[in-house]
Amino acid sequence: QLVYPHDFRLTEKEKTSICYLSFPDSYSGGLGDTQFSFRLRQAGGSRSSPFQDDGRYNREAPVTLQREATHYFGYVYFRQVKDSSMRRGYFQKSLVLVSRLPYVNLFQCLLQLIAPEYFDKLEPCLEAVCNEIDQWPPPAPGQTLNLPVMGVVIQVRIPSRVDKPGSSPVKQCNQENLLPAPLVLPSVHELDLFRCFQPVLIHIQMLWELMLLGEPMVVMAPSPTVSSEMVLALTSCLAPLRYCCDFRPYFTIHDSEFKEYTTRTQAPPNIVVGVTNPFFIKTLQHWPHILRVGELRMSGDLPKQVKVKKLAKLKTLDAKPGIYTSYKTFLHKDKTLIKRLLKGIQRKRPSEVQSALLRRHLLELTQSFIIPLEHYMASLMPLQRAITPWKNPPQIRPFCQEDFMKSLEHAGPQLTCVLKGDWLGLYRRFFKSPNFDGWFRQRHREMTQKLEALHLEAICEADIVAWMKDKSEVEIVDLVLKLREKLVRARCQHLPVKEETLQRVSLYIDTVIGSLPEDLQAVLHH
């Protein structure tokens, strides 16, 4: 019905997809308001964002919270109430917020404030809200922002890459006598993991492995709310490692990728997809891992834990909740985690405390797995003394899986993790996954940039005048061109180099040009 701001361009295909994804696609008898989220592939590759950002946000934000380049997130507030004046006897409407940022808590909180007003007052309400949001500061990692909207101030801290993983959010002290007192969100994005994972707590190890290996997985849930929360919880359980595969928190049979995912002529893609329509039980039967969950109910005791079942059992529409898979975990179960969570339930510990326990466990597991890889990767960096000013910087040595495996004997995950099992087998499988590829590329890019930065510093320390003494004009002109190119690259790629280093290189270039005959000087200055 309405896109606001009016100048925001969506293709027809995107509009159709958003429409289908904004409503529950299977009968839900529930009346009232529900909230859920989806993720949508952008039509026609990446388009430039309407926001001026030189990439700084993505450099400073944790990799798990970077702005998406080729996907949108949709955050939905859906209302269904009986209304005899409507043709179908119901009022059904969704307000959807579309963003490239995965700030599920912030945006759902925002919708809780806006949507009820919007259903009442329609477009003028959105206009007023957008005028307020236009005044908000951009999300700067590491900063606490006060965001006024509709008479409320939402206060939230944007996480930064330099935050210590697993540290609790910094207590916000800049209340600056805000009146009314702000609505403080503990996190822009972290879900209540304990609530999301309630029916599968005893299988958390298996789910973590399936996510780490980028295995294709279907979450079958009774509602888009349960499906989207479960998918987002699953993809977040590798933090601080980025989940590099595709994921769809909510997916319908009308989706343009429906054929691609349901075809039996090729293996299912590396994706976690959340569905609610029982029809998917038939069409996605050939997928290797299917998690079927019921409604999430918070109760005083440990909810019924689903069982791991054979895929063949998933034939009928009334299939019971369970993890339908033949996957055998590489690592043994962590009994102590379950005991601690059970104790928490008996002592009526608040859900956020239980979630923190769970998040800490997953973080330690991921770090135990990743630290040996980080150490080995660091050993591939050339020595600093091998970096000389007048030669191209040396190459990073290639990653050799067998060498890495040998390094595990004395520096493996067993040093930081009590879990026993086939760690080597897990690494071997991980090397074939998109998550390894994504992690490796990012690390390699960071190391290459570090080498460039060290090379520029080496040039700064060098005696350029002495070097020029016995060089021909051709060699000197060649040096000027190379240095210029390095300078441009350093600025474009925002290399980790001090500004004074860049200025000194700039000065060097001028010095070198000044030593050349005037005709060459004119050409180079030009």
**One-character DSSP codes across 380-447:** TSPPGGG--TTSPPPPPPPP-HHHHHHHHHHHSGGGT----B-HHHHHHHHTTSHHHHHHHHHHHHHH
Domain ranges of the chain: 12-185, 192-450, 463-525
Query: Can you give the three-state secondary structure of 329-385, one letter per residue?
Result: CCECCCHHHHHHHHHHHHCCCCHHHHHHHHHHHHHHHHHHHHHHHHHHHHCCCCCHH
Of 160-174, 253-267, 306-320, the least confident: 160-174
- By C-alpha distance, which of 193, 202, 205 is closest to 230? 193
Task: Specify burial of residue 288 (Cβ count, 10 A radius: 0-12, 13-18, 19+).
Answer: middle
Place of tokens 């897990």: 426
154: three-class secondary structure by DSSP:
strand
**Mean pLDDT of the 382-409 span:** 88
pLDDT digits (tens, 9 = 90+) for 149-198: 998 999 999 999 888 876 655 554 555 555 567 889 899 999 999 989 98
Residue 52 banded pLDDT, cuts 50, 70, 90: low
Mean pLDDT of 400-413: 89
Write down the pLDDT at residue 413: 81
Question: What does the pLDDT look like over 346-381, one tens digit per residue?
Answer: 898 898 899 999 999 999 999 999 999 999 999 999
Query: Does the structure show a pLDDT above 60 at 227?
Result: yes
Question: What's the farthest any 2 CA atoms get from each other in the chain?
Answer: 93
Looking up tokens 């087998």, which residue turns up?
425
**Mean pLDDT of all residues belonging to the chain:** 86
Cα distances (Å, whole numbers) of residue 43 to 9, 22, 71, 216, 248: 11, 18, 9, 23, 16
CATH superfamily of 192-450: DENN domain, C-terminal lobe (3.40.50.11500)
Tokens of 426: 């897990």
- What would the mean pLDDT of 69-94 be, rounded to a whole number? 87
| Mean pLDDT in residue range 28-49 | 78
d(CA 357, CA 91): 42
274 close to 219: Cβ distance less than 8 angstroms: yes
**d(Cα 266, Cα 332) in Å, to the nearest integer?**
32
pLDDT of residue 425: 94
Residue type, 338: I
Helix (H) / strand (E) containing 92: strand 90-99
Percent of the chain whose predicted confidence (pLDDT) is above 70 = 92
Q: What's the pLDDT at 254?
A: 86
**Count of C-beta atoms within a 10 Å radius of residue 490:** 20
Q: Kindly list the strands in the beta sheet with 289-292, ordered across the sheet, starting from the edge strand earlier in the chain.
A: 246-248, 271-275, 217-220, 289-292, 322-325, 307-309
Coil, strand or helix at 6: coil
- Which pLDDT score, from 0 to 100, does residue 464 have? 76
Average pLDDT of span 20-49:
79
d(CA 28, CA 62): 37
